[in-house]
A and B are shown apart, each in its own frame.
Chain A
Amino acid sequence: MASLVGVFAASHGPIIARDWDKMPREHRDKLEAAFDEIGRRLRACRPDILVVVSPDHWVNFFINNLPAVCIGIGDEHDGPPEPFMQKVYPHLLLKGHAAFGRHLLQTALDNEFEPALSHRLRLDHGTCIPLWRAAVSPELPLVPILVNDLEAPMPSIKRCLAWGRLLRRAIETYPEPLRVAVLGTGGLSHSIGEPTMGWIDEEFDHACIKQFENGEERQLDAFLTEALPRTGNGAQEMRDWVIAHAAAGSTGFELIDYFPSPATLVGAGFASWKLPAA
């Protein structure tokens, strides 16, 4: 059977790639240290597969066909299409893991989940900024899970918790002894393309972190369901953290760092989960 060997979360934002060299040194150092720590921990758990839970920033889907959740089941995926990403992360192809992707898809269908599927996804900055900055090997096979975090109506927090549990079940029932890690990307608070753009809601961020530290699913669900409509739209990406959290068993959250990052317009958060010994 496969085993879950690590669960992580990290912010992303196009400015991290676009303006990395122009950022104030002190600020860049903080981002670098946090991403480095994610990379160090990820490598230490020696994964054979990385499941990346991320939004799609309008590079695969449009409002004429917009899945709530899409699983990438291909043997390969396209690297980031954004020119600013291609400059820093010039990988035209990224490895997938079709067998595990199909197993995750089948496990979902067997458990009354109906995700979309894709044999080939374009993996944008949401997926690739953490991979780039954390120096994840481009040879590591990815199983992308794209979640609609951008366009209302979006999956409920309750459903994202269920997705996390389902992901864990799929890992535990995969017949080969693979080591699987999970990375949720996005968040914390930020506000993009709306009248509050630039706002970093530190009060939300600290409350959110406290909820993850407490771990309890019903409280996390209640908090995010109530708070997300009152903060910037970028915080909707916390769904990806929620899926990671539930995959980890909704316990063991460990904050690596949090700081408001006005240079990148995000409340920058980085976390890993302590997993119970197998």
Chain B
Amino acid sequence: MTDYWLSKLFFDLQNDAKLAADYRADMPAVIGRYPINPELRTALFEDDVGKLAPEVNAYLLRFYFQVRGMPESEFIARLNAMNPADGNAMEKMPHG
């Protein structure tokens, strides 16, 4: 599945430096501009890589966590911790 508005948020953050700065300063205000469902909003606030990963393009996901300031090593570790056998994580990924 691809969540359109989550994807749109990530795309906008990649392409608008001011929005990315606003996001760092006031994350709830920026998220509030996008009709993202409550479950995914929670995942955003919790930096839940595993929850967000199946909902967006993998490259957008990578960029998003750079905006969040997550070290790439941690991002990779969180992705690698997704258990493909539990919920078939790879097959749920929309673009991998």
Which A residues are closer than 8 A to B by beta carbons?
Answer: 57-59, 62-64, 81, 83, 150-152, 191-198, 232-233
- Consensus secondary structure, chain A interface: loop
Would you call A63 and B80 a contact (CB within 8 A)? no
Given A59-B14, A233-B58, verify A194-B2 contact (CB < 8 Å).
no
Residues of A within 8 A of B15 (CB): 58-59, 81
Give the distance in Å from the alpha carbon of A172 to the alpha carbon of B71 in the complex: 48
CB distance from A23 to the nearest CB of B (A): 14
Residues of A within 8 A of B80 (CB): 195-198
CB distance from A152 to the nearest CB of B (A): 5
- 10 pairs of A and B residues whose beta carbons are closest in the complex: A193-B58, A194-B96, A233-B96, A193-B62, A193-B61, A195-B82, A197-B79, A194-B58, A197-B76, A195-B89
Q: Which of A58, A81, A198 contacts B11 (CB 8 A)?
A: A58
How many chain B residues touch A (CB < 8 A): the figure is 28
B59-96 CB mask vs A (1 if < 8 Å, else 0) is 11111000000000001100110101000011001111
Would you call A57 and B76 a contact (CB within 8 A)? no
Residues of A within 8 A of B89 (CB): 195
Would you call B57 and A151 a contact (CB within 8 A)? yes
Which B residues are closer than 8 A to A by beta carbons?
Answer: 2, 4, 7-8, 11, 14-15, 17, 53, 57-63, 75-76, 79-80, 82, 84, 89-90, 93-96
Some 28 contacts from A to B, beta carbons below 8 A apart, are A58-B11, A58-B14, A59-B15, A62-B8, A63-B7, A64-B4, A83-B17, A150-B57, A150-B95, A152-B94, A193-B60, A193-B61, A193-B96, A194-B79, A194-B95, A195-B53, A195-B82, A195-B84, A195-B89, A195-B90, A195-B93, A195-B96, A196-B80, A197-B75, A197-B79, A198-B76, A198-B80, A233-B96
Residues of B within 8 A of A64 (CB): 4
Residues of B within 8 A of A62 (CB): 7-8, 11
Would you call B4 and A194 a contact (CB within 8 A)? no
Residues of A within 8 A of B61 (CB): 193
Give the distance in Å from the alpha carbon of A59 to the alpha carbon of B17 in the complex: 13
Would you call B84 and A58 a contact (CB within 8 A)? no
Given A194-B79, A196-B80, A197-B76, verify A58-B57 contact (CB < 8 Å).
yes
Residues of A within 8 A of B59 (CB): 57-58, 150, 192-193
Residues of A within 8 A of B94 (CB): 152
Give the distance in Å from the alpha carbon of A192 to the alpha carbon of B65 in the complex: 12
Interface centre among A64, A193, A198 (most CB of B within 10 A): A193
Closest to A193 in B: B58
CB distance from B51 to the nearest CB of A (A): 13
Give the distance in Å from the alpha carbon of A197 to the alpha carbon of B81 in the complex: 10
Residues of A within 8 A of B84 (CB): 195
